């Protein structure tokens, strides 16, 4: 019988296994021969050679934090959720480093896009645990869930000698874990300003690889700028990296004002615009492109000149003169299919070509053909300098939702919606683990409403208390996480109203406007402390582990901890079944069965083993110290699996 682990994914072990699959020859007795690894990679580096790279005080300690699994959990909060059982969106209240660890197993390589707006490090603006080894403990102390003995949080001021180092120590583990969650074609967008943009680029080069830098987008913050001694600053940046070269940034549809003509006969092609004339002198002359065209009873030559005059021109300048842009075959295809038009100018007739919105002329082995293809244009690094992306509009967004300014420093919906459009397709997952007021959720829902998408979001926000006497505090929002959850509810209602009732918050409509709320907390199971040495503490631990489930935990709390640590997403479909008189949770259409009853029977074991599930999980305490029943259960599952020729794993927790 297999005992289920309660820790999050072991990052170090996963990396070792991945390395072993690629380079098995560098392992000797399960240890890595680093010199051999260098030889395999075609490099020999002496140990005393200095290397180029980003280093700072605390970097080595960061790796210890990354490699330490989490034994916390995420507890569901139904009364703060919207459409809990059907929605595929998630809002998590908690310290994001611990949450990112908990998400590793269930969301490894599944997130298409990450957007984060981390602290800009301008001084006194982010909560920071002084001791890395106490992330959950200090988080719980800060949120008032345990006593505040030894509470150690501080802000990062620009007078601190470790000003940049502390910011890097905060960001490095989070970005490292975020990288694991991205799909191979995934992308991350990070908002930042001048204070840390250089360090952020160097840090992302370290984690994502310098070759995976995509772009740095300047974004207007305020058209008027912010006064300084000499130069007014009015921009920050959005830094973009990809997971690998598999990334494909979406293109915009052309909104060129030139597409203003309609063609009734070819209406399905959309509107068209007229290009420059078919003849011009800015390309190198070619005899193959110098031919007579007969159109509407007229015979035209390039530049509307006679053959004799053309010969005279070529004598003066043999390298360049008027000729047609299209070959004769292409011209005839275009003429016969409506891509050519004759128009009279001031003194003469000229031939123009048409560019349609939805089709183009293409060529293949059998000749020319018409292909359906909407005209697009690539994103540019100057796309976010318009005032609609400024902080003025983010304040308007907040006021429009709440009726008052309950949050500072958010980004405008227009900016994040544009980034989501560029970085995702319609069914992708978006992660924001510095969620703030939940602008990312509103942007994702608005874009889904506009293009019929089904993008899902996962948001993580620390429940940082709002400041007394602020509009947020006076309005009843005790934490920033409270503001974020309420914004999602209000934005969903606003979208529903704008759609004239065509969208349904109960899950029966066109799109998902709900979210599952979770809160970071201590594990529902008492975890064995291997550091205990004195007899009294050891005896206390033994007593606690007679029944190792917390008295404060309910069945749903335990269920979601098991799901997450077994590698199932938080939105996995859960159904209740009655088997042998006991309640059983069916996960992912019966792939896994979980029984959290306090007592199991031989009849229940037989019923569970007779299913086609690949995994069955029960509480260890449910066997009530009946070792014979536990052995019989293990044998029953083994025999049933052998009889069916399938794999069936039976675990206890």
Chain centroid, CA 473 distance in Å = 31
339 — pLDDT class (breaks 50, 70, 90) = very high
Residues 138 and 96 occupy one common structural domain: yes
What does the pLDDT average to over 325-336? 93
Phi, psi of 77 (to 5 degrees): -125, 90
* Residue 644 pLDDT: 82
> Where is pLDDT greater, at 149 or 488?
488
* Residue 408 pLDDT: 83
* Residue 317 pLDDT: 58
Q: What is the pLDDT of residues 74-132, one digit of tens each?
A: 999 999 999 999 999 999 999 999 999 999 999 999 999 999 999 998 876 666 555 55
Q: What is the pLDDT of residues 540-560, one digit of tens each?
A: 655 555 567 888 889 999 999
What does the pLDDT average to over 9-26? 81
Domain, as residue range, for 336: 264-377
Count other Cβ atoms within 10 Å, centred on residue 278.
Answer: 22
Residues 113 and 210 occupy one common structural domain: yes
Within 13 Å and on the Cβ side, how many CA atoms surround 282?
A: 3
| SS3 assignment, position 488 | helix
506 — pLDDT class (breaks 50, 70, 90) = very low
Short-list 484, 446, 454, CA closest to 92: 484
Give me the number of domains the chain comprises. 3
> Where is pLDDT greater, at 566 or 500?
566
Phi, psi of 652 (to 5 degrees): -120, 155
* Residue 64 pLDDT: 83
Chain centroid, CA 436 distance in Å = 16
**625 sits in which H/E element:** none
Q: What is the pLDDT of residues 38-77, one digit of tens each?
A: 866 877 666 555 667 788 888 888 888 888 889 899 999 9
* Residue 48 pLDDT: 59
Q: How far apart are CA 288 and CA 295, in angstroms?
A: 19
Instruction: Judge whether 229 lies within some domain.
Output: yes
Residues 361 and 431 occupy one common structural domain: no
* Residue 413 pLDDT: 97
Q: What is the mean pLDDT of the chain?
A: 85
CA dihedral 527, 533, 537, 543 (to 10 degrees): 50
Residues 197 and 286 occupy one common structural domain: no
* Residue 543 pLDDT: 57
Which of 247-251, 267-271, 309-313, 481-485 shows the highest mean pLDDT?
481-485
> Where is pLDDT greater, at 312 or 214?
214
* Residue 151 pLDDT: 52
Instruction: Judge whether 104 lies within some domain.
Output: yes
CA dihedral 139, 142, 147, 151 (to 10 degrees): 90
Instruction: Judge whether 590 lies within some domain.
Output: yes
461 — pLDDT class (breaks 50, 70, 90) = very high
323, 355, 377: which is the final residue of a domain? 377
CATH label of the domain that carries residue 413: 3.40.50.150
Residues 269 and 247 occupy one common structural domain: no
For the record, the structure tokens of 214 come out as 């995509």
Computed on alpha carbons and rounded to an integer, the radius of gyration of the chain in Å comes to 32
Instruction: Judge whether 307 lies within some domain.
Output: yes
**544 touches 476 (CB < 8 A):** no
Q: With 90 as the cut, is the pLDDT of residue 146 above it?
A: no
DSSP 385-424: -SGGGSHHHHHHHHHHHHSS---SSPPPHHHHHHHHHHH-
Residues 398 and 423 occupy one common structural domain: yes
Q: What percent of the chain has pLDDT over 90?
A: 48
Q: How far apart are CA 177 and CA 208, in angstroms?
A: 11
377, 393, 428: which is the final residue of a domain? 377
Instruction: Judge whether 23 lies within some domain.
Output: no
Q: How far apart are CA 83 and CA 89, in angstroms?
A: 10
**520 touches 462 (CB < 8 A):** no
* Residue 567 pLDDT: 92
> Where is pLDDT greater, at 367 or 316?
367
What does the pLDDT average to over 486-491? 97
Residues 366 and 389 occupy one common structural domain: no
Q: With 60 as the cut, is the pLDDT of residue 372 above it?
A: yes
- Tokens 């997952």 -> residue: 429
Q: With 60 as the cut, is the pLDDT of residue 208 above it?
A: yes
Residues 480 and 594 occupy one common structural domain: no
Q: With 70 as the cut, is the pLDDT of residue 484 above it?
A: yes
For the record, the structure tokens of 11 come out as 């990052």
What does the pLDDT average to over 570-599? 94
Q: With 50 as the cut, is the pLDDT of residue 565 above it?
A: yes
313, 347, 377: which is the final residue of a domain? 377
Instruction: Judge whether 31 lies within some domain.
Output: no
Instruction: Judge whether 515 lies within some domain.
Output: yes
- Tokens 């240890």 -> residue: 31
Q: From residue 484, give the alpha-carbon distance in Å to each of 115, 278, 307, 388, 494.
A: 16, 57, 74, 22, 15
Instruction: Judge whether 221 lies within some domain.
Output: yes
**550 touches 6 (CB < 8 A):** no
Residues 579 and 563 occupy one common structural domain: yes
Q: What is the pTM of this model?
A: 0.81
Q: With 80 as the cut, is the pLDDT of residue 161 above it?
A: no
Beta strands in 254-406 (DSSP E): 272-277, 279-280, 293-295, 298-300, 323-324, 340-344, 349-356, 359-364, 367-372, 376-377
Residues 199 and 128 occupy one common structural domain: yes
* Residue 42 pLDDT: 74
Short-list 468, 463, 476, 466, CA closest to 142: 463
Residues 74 and 198 occupy one common structural domain: yes
Chain centroid, CA 214 distance in Å = 16
Q: Where is average pLDDT lowest: 160-164, 243-247, 270-274, 598-602?
A: 160-164
Strand ranges across the sheet with 574-579: 2-3, 649-652, 615-618, 592-595, 582-587, 574-579
Farthest-apart Cα atoms in the chain, separation: 112
What does the pLDDT average to over 194-216? 94
Residues 197 and 63 occupy one common structural domain: yes
Residues 6+ apart with CB under 8 A from 102: 8, 70, 72, 73, 74, 520, 564, 565
Q: With 90 as the cut, is the pLDDT of residue 225 above it?
A: no
**413 touches 397 (CB < 8 A):** yes
* Residue 491 pLDDT: 96
* Residue 51 pLDDT: 62
């Amino acid at each position: 019988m297999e005992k289920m682990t309660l820790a999050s994914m072991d990052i170090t072990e996963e990396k070792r296994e991945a390395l072993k699959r690629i380079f098995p020859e560098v392992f000797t007795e399960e240890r890595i021969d680093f010199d051999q690894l260098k030889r395999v990679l075609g490099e020999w580096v002496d140990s005393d050679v200095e290397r180029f790279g980003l280093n700072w005080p605390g970097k080595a300690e960061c790796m210890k934090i990354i490699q330490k699994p989490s034994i916390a959990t995420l507890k569901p909060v139904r009364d703060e959720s919207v459409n809990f059982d059907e929605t595929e969106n998630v809002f998590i209240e908690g310290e994001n480093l611990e949450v990112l660890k908990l998400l590793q197993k269930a969301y490894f390589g599944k997130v298409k896009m990450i957007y984060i707006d981390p602290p800009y490090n301008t001084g006194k603006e982010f909560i920071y645990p002084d001791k890395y080894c106490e992330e959950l403990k200090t988080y719980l102390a800060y949120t008032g869930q345990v006593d505040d003995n030894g509470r150690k949080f501080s802000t990062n001021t620009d007078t601190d000698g470790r000003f940049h180092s502390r910011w890097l120590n905060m960001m490095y583990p989070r970005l490292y874990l975020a990288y694991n969650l991205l799909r191979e074609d995934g992308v991350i967008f990070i908002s930042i300003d001048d204070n840390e943009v250089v360090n952020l680029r160097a840090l992302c080069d370290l984690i994502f690889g310098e070759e995976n830098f995509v772009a740095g987008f300047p974004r207007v913050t305020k058209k008027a700028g912010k006064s300084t001694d000499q130069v007014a600053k009015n921009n920050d940046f959005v830094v973009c990296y990809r997971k690998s070269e598999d990334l494909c940034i979406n293109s915009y549809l052309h909104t060129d004002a030139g597409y203003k003509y309609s063609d009734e006969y070819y209406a399905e092609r959309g509107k068209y615009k007229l290009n420059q004339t078919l003849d011009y002198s800015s390309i190198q002359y070619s005899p193959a492109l110098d031919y007579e065209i007969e159109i509407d009873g007229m015979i035209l030559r390039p530049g509307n000149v006679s053959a004799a005059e053309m010969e005279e021109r070529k004598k003066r300048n043999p390298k360049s003169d008027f000729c047609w842009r299209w070959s004769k075959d292409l011209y005839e295809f275009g003429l016969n299919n409506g891509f050519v038009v004759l128009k009279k100018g001031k003194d003469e007739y000229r031939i123009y070509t048409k560019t349609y919105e939805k089709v183009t002329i293409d060529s293949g082995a059998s000749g020319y053909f018409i292909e359906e293809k909407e005209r697009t244009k690539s994103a540019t690094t100057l796309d976010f300098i318009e005032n609609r992306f400024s902080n003025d509009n983010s304040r308007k967004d907040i006021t429009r939702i709440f009726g008052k300014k309950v949050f500072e420093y958010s980004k405008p919906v227009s900016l994040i919606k544009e980034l989501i459009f560029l970085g995702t397709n319609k069914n992708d997952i978006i992660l924001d683990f510095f969620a703030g007021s939940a602008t990312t959720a509103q942007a994702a829902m608005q874009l889904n409403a506009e293009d019929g998408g089904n993008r899902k979001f996962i948001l993580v926000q620390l429940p940082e208390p709002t400041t007394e006497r602020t509009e947020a505090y006076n309005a009843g929002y005790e934490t920033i996480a409270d503001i974020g959850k309420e914004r999602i509810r209000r934005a969903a209602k606003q979208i529903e109203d704008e759609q004239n009732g065509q969208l349904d918050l109960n899950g029966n409509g066109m799109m998902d406007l709900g979210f599952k709320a979770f809160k970071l907390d201590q594990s529902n199971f008492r975890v064995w402390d291997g550091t205990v040495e004195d007899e009294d503490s050891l005896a206390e631990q033994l007593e606690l582990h007679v029944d190792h489930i917390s008295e404060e935990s309910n069945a749903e709390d335990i269920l979601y901890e098991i799901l997450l640590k077994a590698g199932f997403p938080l939105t996995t479909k859960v159904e209740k079944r009655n088997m042998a008189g006991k309640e059983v949770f069916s996960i992912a259409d019966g792939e896994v069965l979980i029984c959290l009853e306090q007592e199991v029977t031989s009849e229940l074991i037989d019923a569970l083993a007779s299913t086609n599930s690949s995994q069955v999980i029960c509480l260890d305490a449910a066997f009530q110290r009946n070792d014979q029943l536990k052995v019989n259960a293990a044998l029953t599952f083994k025999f049933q699996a052998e009889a069916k020729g399938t794999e069936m794993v039976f675990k206890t927790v």
